[in-house]
Copies of this chain bind each other. A is one copy, B any other.
Amino acid sequence: MGFLCLLYPWSQVCEWREPEELAALLDLELRENGEPQHQLLQRIRDVAKYSVKTNHPRFFNQLFAGVDYHALTGRFLTEALNTSQYTYEVAPVFVLMEGEVLSKLRSLVGWAEGDGIFCPGGTMSNMYAMNVARYRAFPEVKLKGMWSLPRLAVFTSQQSHYSVMKAAAFQGIGTENVFKVKVDDRGCMIPEDLGETIELAKSQGAVPFFVHATSGTTVQGAFDPLEPIADICDRQGLWMHVDAAWGGSVLFSKEHKHLMRGVERADSVTWNPHKMMLTGLQCSAILLKDTTHLLKHCHSADAKYLFQQDKFYDTSLDTGDKSIQCGRKVDCLKLWLMWKAVGSKGLEEQNISSPFYLTYVFCFCSVEQPLFVNVCFWFIPPSLRGKENSPDYNDRLSKVAPVIKERMMKQGTMMLGYQPQGGRVNFFRMIVISPQLSHQDMSFCLNEIERLGNDL
């Protein structure tokens, strides 16, 4: 196969090319006639060469990174077997396997029973939660649409993922009906403000139905305090969803699972093993505490050509009607195989303890230890040091990260992200995931930023 050579550590994280130049290099155009074998092989080499090496230890840019070879084997096998995860008939192995994996993930949440399904990404999982919550509160919405309902209100923190807004827009709820709850300095939702915001929404005539808490925010890696949020949801009778797309994997760790204390009180949890568990894209689960088949009642369309009721086996195994998709890619095998290979203990060690430890060491001298593996910082170039009080300080500082980012991309030495947030101007966000990462890689990162930004 020869593909594994693509995974061998490259010297560079990326080989930056301007779009026009890259398009020409790749000769992307599709034509009437095909190409000879040797040319196709060159195409494949070029695709790999100019793609970002997300497996490279110095790829700190997204909430995914690194490679797990067991998971990769599972992905290759999934591709070779090419089936769809909707009926036991065409996916007997994967229907049962998905059930086992979901059940095990639920047990880490703290639920002995429940429901769930793998979705194409965390945003879709979050959308499932919002839709099932709406259906529980107002089952008539499926048939009659939103006109039969009062104006609804959704609550989430100022630093939650933008998928809440996408969900509200897509599902006809409207983004102005998403009420943003204040966060503290570390990015965690302030429960008192949640209570007040709920009252505010009610005073405007909206009907609260859904609280979207976050375990592991995208930028700061903050964990909302789930216990007090659950208290409020209990009192108000609201669906409590925990978006743990990023943070959920701490549940594997005896040492760090306290970050999600209270998660078992939620109604639903989004968890993306394609992030910290390194399964590879896509692997996202929506987990539900519900045992009344809400997921199926909410999403079913009973297609007769697929879910025949006169089948010779137990048709409750046909999970397709839980999904809003029809054909659905098999996403469980990669996670199952890596879990089989190293066990829960091995996953805890390699996927959770190791990046936490590296982050700890890396930030040892910093003013504030990060709660999670998101390392956020400014690089203050020599020209700005000691100038914190000058009126154009923030303006000048905001221009530093974009320039350093451009230089690191063009030299291909590493990749990390930056963004402004709230009142803070552009700062770097370095995500520590890959178990292939060494102390050297971490200190390289600091030295490299210094080298790239020293003249600024």
Contacts and interface: CB of A to CB of B under 8 A. Distances in A.
A97 interface: yes
B93 A303 contact: no
A301 B67 CA distance: 30
A111 to B, nearest CB: 16
Contacts of A180: none
A70 B40 contact: yes
A143 interface: yes
Contacts of A420: 304
A76 to B, nearest CB: 6
Interface in A121-178: 121-124, 127, 131, 141-148, 151-152, 161-163, 165-166, 168-177
A19 B314 contact: yes
In this complex, the member of A162, A415, A429 whose beta carbon has the largest number of chain B beta carbons within 10 angstroms is A162
A170 to B, nearest CB: 5
Interface in A219-261: 219
Interface in A154-206: 161-163, 165-166, 168-177
B100 A29 contact: yes
Contacts of A298: 169
Given A1-B3, A28-B96, A121-B327, A44 B19 contact: no
B280 A79 contact: yes
Contacts of A172: 141, 145-146, 171-173
Contacts of A177: 144-145
Contact of A30 (B67, B141, B336): B336
A308 interface: yes
A222 to B, nearest CB: 13
Interface residues of A, number: 143
B405 A312 contact: yes
A306 B298 CA distance: 32
Contacts of A79: 72, 75-76, 79, 280
Contacts of A405: 311-312
A146 B138 CA distance: 15
A409 to B, nearest CB: 7
A334 to B, nearest CB: 9
Interface string A278-301: 001110000000000000001101
A123 B326 contact: yes
A363 interface: no
B34 A341 contact: yes
A265 to B, nearest CB: 24
Contact of A92 (B32, B33, B51, B175): B51
Nearest to A23: B96
A112 interface: no
Contacts of A33: 343, 345-346
Nearest to A75: B79
Contacts of A72: 79-80
A64 B327 contact: yes
Interface stretch (A83-91, A352-360, A379-387, A440-448): A83-91
A449 to B, nearest CB: 16
A402 interface: yes
Contact of A310 (B44, B121, B426): B426
A313 B410 CA distance: 11
22 contacts: A19-B92, A19-B313, A22-B93, A26-B93, A30-B101, A30-B343, A32-B344, A33-B346, A34-B345, A40-B70, A48-B80, A51-B94, A52-B90, A55-B82, A62-B84, A64-B327, A120-B120, A120-B121, A124-B325, A145-B151, A304-B419, A311-B402
Interface of A: 1, 3-4, 6-7, 14, 16-19, 22-23, 26, 28-35, 40, 43-44, 47-48, 50-52, 54-55, 61-62, 64, 67, 70, 72-73, 75-77, 79-84, 88-94, 96-97, 100-101, 104, 120-124, 127, 131, 141-148, 151-152, 161-163, 165-166, 168-177, 218-219, 272, 274, 280-282, 298-299, 301-306, 308, 310-314, 317, 324-329, 333, 336-337, 339-346, 399, 402, 405-406, 409, 415, 417-421, 426, 429
Given A6-B77, A62-B84, A308-B402, 12 more contacts: A4-B80, A26-B93, A40-B337, A43-B337, A72-B79, A121-B328, A144-B176, A169-B298, A272-B327, A304-B419, A305-B429, A308-B419
